[in-house]
Structure 1
Amino acid sequence: MDSNTGEASDARRAAIITALREGVRRVDELADCCGVSPMTIRRDLQFLEEQGAVRRIRGGAVPVDTWTFEHRLGRGAEAKWRIAEKLLPLVPDQGGIGLDGSSTAHHLALALQSRTPRDLTAVTTGLETFHRLSRIPGVRAYSTGGSSDVDTGSLVGPLAQLTLQQFALETCFLSATYLDPALGSTEFTAEEATVKRAMVTVSKRTVLAVDSTKLNRHAVAKCLGLDEVDLLVTELAPDDATLTPYRELVEIL
């Protein structure tokens, strides 16, 4: 029988909010995540809606608020720093690079502060990343502009795409909501996927950086096939068994 009392209910409802913030929306998916019945999830969603924490939609719910960038930056920080250390040697001293609005790409911008590029142009869809890049000597930083994606905080939309068309970049550094061997990278929203594809279009090389918690999962919006990715970077060693499904599909660092 499903538990609906005391600490178990509180813990489950906290897990539901976490899952909603990570992009899970449907009642059946929430039930799988929490190991309870859909009926229990519906009762929890009703309770959470009455508390003002979620808004129910057909077949599921959405969070009323979204995680702040600072919260996302702190999640899995150790893995993201290891990824940034691998990415840093791939950044040239001059030329052009692109960074998406992910917290993983932001860690690369933070790591770049340890270097002094000669004449590096960096364009990004992340406002926080733009502000960080603009403080680094030798870096000419550009923000794409656009509207803020409500789920990710990244800049998206026609203005962001139009801005990217003005650049010819050597390398773009992207992350993903999730990565699946068959589906490739996926995002919470089609708008996020579209602007990332626009950055790939103007870049000679595409580096996809994801921590291992994002592997073998997928969100709703397809973004890049692994045949469109030149290099996959995780915090894991390239020969780690977790990466076996990807090893014949893409070069791994």
Structure 2
Amino acid sequence: MALSGNLDAQRRRDELVELANAPRGVMIDAAAELFAVSPMTIRRDLLELEAEGRVRRVRGGATAAPRARPFDARRAIRATAKRTIAEKALQLVPTAGSIALDASTTVSMLASAIGPRSGVTAYTNSFESFQLLQPFEGVSAVISGGTAEPTTGSLVGPLARRSIRSVYFDIFFSSADALDSDDGTSEVSVEEAELKQAMATNAATTVVLIDSSKLQRRSVARALELHEISVLITELEPRDERLDPYRGIADIR
């Protein structure tokens, strides 16, 4: 049953934000019917809400606005998918050489599984991954300098970027807050995006580990261009149709 069409605009937008925060977000056509207004009115509402940082527009609607979440809270989200992704990525970790690991929870699962190596140097801006790598024989863990980001547990800023840019990597393992088949990866903050750009620039191979809920989405700050991504790993089977927009862009696993 449609709500009254006489709801004032501010109340309607407040309720749109609540709907966008639901697991599936809010769709324009459904919201137009719910509030008894035109789809164009809902589009204008969502444009204004996105400008205020209250929602993120997606194709056909909107979802919750991107925000930095504490590491422990992020680790619990889609944990099964992240474990599957980490298991696939483990096959690409060399026995020797240099690798870079970002500060994502997906990559931390990979770090926890690396195990003994003959001589790997692992650079990271993640406190969590740095600690997880300590027990492994043959793995030398190096943490970047920088400014601590208390919410995400990462190190960011000019010092972190300068530290990363002084090293060349065989492989960079990165996750992302979103991946779009036109615009590449994006992050919740400019600082996180800039650090991943620095890692990718100095890496011979960049592997993006991302669960399927983040596909065909955009976050706040652009990070990696599509041509920088060598391998794309999700929890899906490589032939899954949801991966069709990325075929020809990267090796899909």
Q: TM-score, normalised by structure 1?
A: 0.75
Query: What RMSD in Å do the two structures reach over aligned CA positions?
Result: 3.1
Distance 1:238 1:68, change over 3 A: same
Task: Report what 2:198 is aligned to.
Answer: 198
SS at the partner of 1:135? Answer: coil
Alignment of 1:166 onto 2:166: yes
- What is the deviation of 1:248? 2.1
Task: Report what 1:230 is aligned to.
Answer: 230
Q: Identical aligned pairs, as a percentage?
A: 38
Structure 2: state its 5+ residue gaps.
8-13, 36-50, 56-64
What are the within-5 Å matches in structure 2 for residues 70-85 of structure 1? Answer: 70-85=72-87
- What is the deviation of 1:60? 4.5
Deviations 1:105-133 (Å, cap 9, x if unpaired)?
A: 00101121xx3101110011111111111
Task: Report what 2:93 is aligned to.
Answer: 91
Task: Report what 1:53 is aligned to.
Answer: none
1:81 maps to a residue whose letter is R
Q: In structure 2, what is the Cα distance between the partners aligned to 1:133 and 1:221?
A: 29
- Give the alignment partner of residue 108 of structure 1, picking from 83, 87, 110: 110
Deviations 1:166-224 (Å, cap 9, x if unpaired)?
A: 21210000011000000110111111111001011221110011000000100121111
2:204 maps to a residue whose letter is K
SS at the partner of 2:116? Answer: coil
Q: In structure 2, what is the Cα distance between the partners aligned to 1:96 and 1:66?
A: 28
Structure 1: state its 5+ residue gaps.
4-8, 20-28, 38-57
Q: TM-score, normalised by structure 2?
A: 0.75
Task: Report what 1:179 is aligned to.
Answer: 179
SS at the partner of 1:90? Answer: coil
Alignment of 1:133 onto 2:126: no
1:250 maps to a residue whose letter is A
Is the Cα contact below 8 Å between 1:124 and 1:130 reproduced in 2?
Answer: yes
Task: Report what 1:44 is aligned to.
Answer: none
- What is the deviation of 1:150? 5.7
Instruction: List structure 1 segments (4+ residues) > 3 angstroms apart after TM superposition.
Output: 12-19, 29-32, 34-37, 60-63, 149-153
1:199 maps to a residue whose letter is M
SS at the partner of 1:200? Answer: helix
- What is the deviation of 1:31? 9.1
2:190 maps to a residue whose letter is A
Is the Cα contact below 8 Å between 1:94 and 1:118 reproduced in 2?
Answer: yes
Q: In structure 2, what is the Cα distance between the partners aligned to 1:159 and 1:124?
A: 13
Alignment of 1:210 onto 2:210: yes
Q: In structure 1, what is the Cα distance between the partners aligned to 2:182 and 2:109?
A: 28
Distance 1:85 1:176, change over 3 A: same
Q: In structure 1, what is the Cα distance between the partners aligned to 2:189 and 2:155?
A: 12
SS at the partner of 2:123? Answer: strand
SS at the partner of 1:232? Answer: strand
Is the Cα contact below 8 Å between 2:70 and 2:152 reproduced in 1?
Answer: no
Distance 1:14 1:66, change over 3 A: farther
What are the within-5 Å matches in structure 2 for residues 145-156 of structure 1? Answer: 145-149=145-149, 152-156=152-156
Task: Report what 2:246 is aligned to.
Answer: 246
1:86 maps to a residue whose letter is K
Task: Report what 1:59 is aligned to.
Answer: 52
2:106 maps to a residue whose letter is T
Q: In structure 2, what is the Cα distance between the partners aligned to 1:121 and 1:101?
A: 16
- What is the deviation of 1:66? 5.5
